[in-house]
Amino acid sequence: MILLLFLLWICGSGLSANSEAAGRLSSVLDSLVAAHGMQGASLSVAIYAPRDTSLVYSHNAGALLVPASLQKLYTAVGALQGLGADHVFETAVGYRGSIQNGVLRGDLVVRGGGDPSWLEAVYPEGPHSVFELWADSLLALGIREVRGDLVADISLFPTVIYNSQWQAGDRPYGYAPSLSPLSFNANMVRYDLFAADRLGRPARMANRFGYVWHEAENRVKTTSRQGADVWLTLAADPRKIALHGELGLGVKDFLNGAVREPAFFALQNIRAALAGRGIKVSGFSREEERPGLGVPPQPLFTFRSVRLGQLLPIILKDSSNFPSEMLLPALGGDYDAGRDRLSSLAREVKGTPDQFRIADACGLSRQNKTSASHLGILLCHAHNQPWFPVFQGSLAVPGEKGTLEKRLKELPEYSELYAKTGTMRGISGLAGYLKVSGGQAYAFAILCNGVPSLAAAKQWQDELISALACYGGD
């Protein structure tokens, strides 16, 4: 009720950004903490005018908290600074041996370039379509058979099976991805689940695009419950996975199982695509982890990814972990060096305090730490860069596909919101930009840790942004 009365008053009176109005705004924003049962939670809020990085409002703005997926804002800014919006990833395909009468007598070699774009979000018909294009290129070059091995050159950077700072319970899931210079489909298999037509029967399971990797055991049952409650467990053998839980009648859901041998997973699907075009590979699939082994391959063609600027909406709007994590080796040469480079880029932002910690690129680690002031100043920095339109255009917008699709759709018509969400158990955050009447823009960061209810935290964030939209300013 306090908020409702305040919004009706300020939206009707058009307050300017003077000290009295700002004090009233601060009073109401502070009151929201108590209004939604946020007592006991750790909160950090900072709102800036991004053109000159002047502070508009703060609440515990220097507190170091876990950002969850707000960490991806650091990754996106660092990638735009360190790589550029037009950066592309290149995968070279070559051979060792000789080509005679349509037969490659030797090995077909794929040199992984760390391309993170072979995703359903980029290729809706399935990322295997990339490999079908390769097959067509081989046919155009006159190659119809390979009498040798299919080789993955993964020497660009060491494969990362699993970030040691991620929780063990995340290990079976595709949102905790492995990373390799040669990766495919975010190194995961999606299992689509459909309730049976009768109670007690097993749910139907289907592998998305027919991709197979695990020996999967389906233990999901159809029950009278409402909705879905499903999860994964991984055996000691990472090729064995089990799906557990319940689906209500008429309900469908999905689970993404992580692939922990990413280069071999890619090779398996390359081989399948070649076979689909009639190209037989008679040898084995194998990896080469070190450069300079044997005879250097002769080039056939190079495949170039979409631009980095086209990947950023997948990272920010959709909050996809895999492409975010893959930017670390691109920045630094390997995963750890990339993490150090990202930290260095964040420290180069003028005016940011030194207290923050980058443990990964996607925000899955609870060892990541930042504050609303640090994140807010980073957003101000981004606002004044030539690549800002690409960055802002990659953020989620209320009512559109992405993480804000069902939030903040009732903002005043004159306002525009571009933001990133961050959510984990007990953690919720929202950060981005709000444009209001008169062209005034705000950069804001809201971090909430130890919240008793994620729904309450999101409601509090939404009402804070709604109050700011009505507050406006000069």
Residue 221 in this model has a pLDDT that exceeds 90: yes
- Write the DSSP symbol of residue 169: G
Query: What is the tens place of the pLDDT at every residue in 85-99?
Result: 999 999 999 999 999
**How much is the pLDDT for 13?**
41
**How much is the pLDDT for 8?**
41
Residue 447 in this model has a pLDDT that exceeds 90: yes
Residue 39 in this model has a pLDDT that exceeds 60: yes
Query: What is the tens place of the pLDDT at every residue in 367-377?
Result: 999 999 999 99
Residue 17 in this model has a pLDDT that exceeds 50: no
Can you tell me the distance from the alpha carbon of 466 to that of 137, in angstroms, rounded to the nearest whole number? 53
**How much is the pLDDT for 351?**
77
Q: How far from chain centre, in Å, is Cα 9?
A: 39
Which residues are registered as beta bridge partners of 433? 418, 443
Query: What is the tens place of the pLDDT at every residue in 139-192?
Result: 999 999 999 999 999 999 999 999 999 999 999 999 999 999 999 999 999 999
Residue 2 in this model has a pLDDT that exceeds 50: no
Q: Is 267 within 8 Å of 150 (Cβ atoms)?
A: yes
Query: What is the tens place of the pLDDT at every residue in 46-56?
Result: 999 999 999 99
Counting residues of the chain whose pLDDT is more than 70, the rounded percentage is 91
Name 288's Cβ contacts closer than 8 Å, sequence gap at least 6: 109, 151, 152, 153, 154, 155, 294
**Coil, helix or strand for 290?**
coil
**How much is the pLDDT for 19?**
56
Calculate helix-pair angle for 308-316, 71-82, nearest 10 degrees. Answer: 170
* 0.85 exceeded by pTM: yes
Tell me which amino acid residue 219 is. Answer: R
Q: 225 in the Ramachandran plot: left (φ > 0), alpha (ψ -120 to 50) or beta?
A: beta
**How much is the pLDDT for 22?**
62
**Coil, helix or strand for 378?**
helix
Residue 36 in this model has a pLDDT that exceeds 70: no
**How much is the pLDDT for 233?**
95
**How much is the pLDDT for 14?**
41
Quick one: pLDDT band at residue 80, thresholds 50, 70, 90? Answer: very high
Q: Where would I find the beta strands (DSSP E) of 16-140?
A: 42-49, 54-59, 90-100, 103-111
Query: What is the tens place of the pLDDT at every residue in 448-458?
Result: 999 988 998 99
**How much is the pLDDT for 290?**
83
Tell me the three-class secondary structure of 400-436, residue by residue: CCCCCCCCCCCCCCCCEEEEEEEEECCEEEEEEEEEC
Q: How far from chain centre, in Å, is Cα 239?
A: 24
CA quadruple 235, 238, 240, 241: dihedral, nearest 10: 70
Counting residues of the chain whose pLDDT is more than 90, the rounded percentage is 80
Can you tell me the distance from the alpha carbon of 118 to that of 263, in angstroms, rounded to the nearest whole number? 13
**How much is the pLDDT for 95?**
97
* Interstrand relation of 90-100 and 298-304 (parallel, antiparallel or unpaired): antiparallel
Residue 348 in this model has a pLDDT that exceeds 90: no
* Interstrand relation of 240-248 and 427-435 (parallel, antiparallel or unpaired): unpaired
Query: What is the tens place of the pLDDT at every residue in 247-279?
Result: 999 999 999 999 999 999 999 999 999 999 999
Residue 218 in this model has a pLDDT that exceeds 70: yes
Q: Which of 11, 6, 5 is nearest to 412 (CA)?
A: 11
**How much is the pLDDT for 161?**
95
Can you tell me the distance from the alpha carbon of 218 to that of 395, in angstroms, rounded to the nearest whole number? 37
Query: What is the tens place of the pLDDT at every residue in 64-73?
Result: 999 999 999 9
Q: Which of 269, 239, 238, 259 is nearest to 110 (CA)?
A: 269
Residue 103 in this model has a pLDDT that exceeds 60: yes
Q: What is the mean pLDDT of the chain?
A: 91
Can you tell me the distance from the alpha carbon of 378 to that of 390, in angstroms, rounded to the nearest whole number? 16
Q: Which of 145, 146, 154, 155 is nearest to 96 (CA)?
A: 146
**How much is the pLDDT for 439?**
79
Look at 9 and 173; give whichever has higher pLDDT: 173
Provide mean pLDDT across the span 437-448. 90
Can you tell me the distance from the alpha carbon of 111 to that of 284, in angstroms, rounded to the nearest whole number? 16
Q: 273 in the Ramachandran plot: left (φ > 0), alpha (ψ -120 to 50) or beta?
A: alpha
